[in-house]
Amino acid sequence: MTGKRAVAAPLTLPAVARKGEAAPAIQSIEQPAAPPTVPDPFSPLRPSRVKATIAVTVRLDEERYERLKGFGASRRITNQDIIVAALDRFFASLE
């Protein structure tokens, strides 16, 4: 050994933002930037797929819950999607 100490690594990385200093990436390398669009003054504030929602709690007995969980897991569908689809079919049957 020569008696020299190794240079310590810096404690902060230049590529990692500090808490409160994070900012979104300007542009992805893989995707070209989309051209700027002018908002339509007559369009709703949210895109058509995104709607305001209200949380509802549903109490299920164990058998229904297990069936719901098994059905969703086997088809990779969320409980939310299953219940919304069931409500849509129910309301359509009333019309």
Q: Which residue has the higher pLDDT, 40 or 66?
A: 66
Arithmetic mean of pLDDT, 29-53: 61
pLDDT tier at 3 (50, 70, 90 boundaries)? low
Burial 82-93 (b: 16+ CB within 10 A, else e): eeeeeeeeeeee
pLDDT at position 29 over 60: no
- Position 52 scores a pLDDT of 82
Arithmetic mean of pLDDT, 4-10: 74
pLDDT tier at 31 (50, 70, 90 boundaries)? low
In 3-state terms, what secondary structure has residue 74? helix
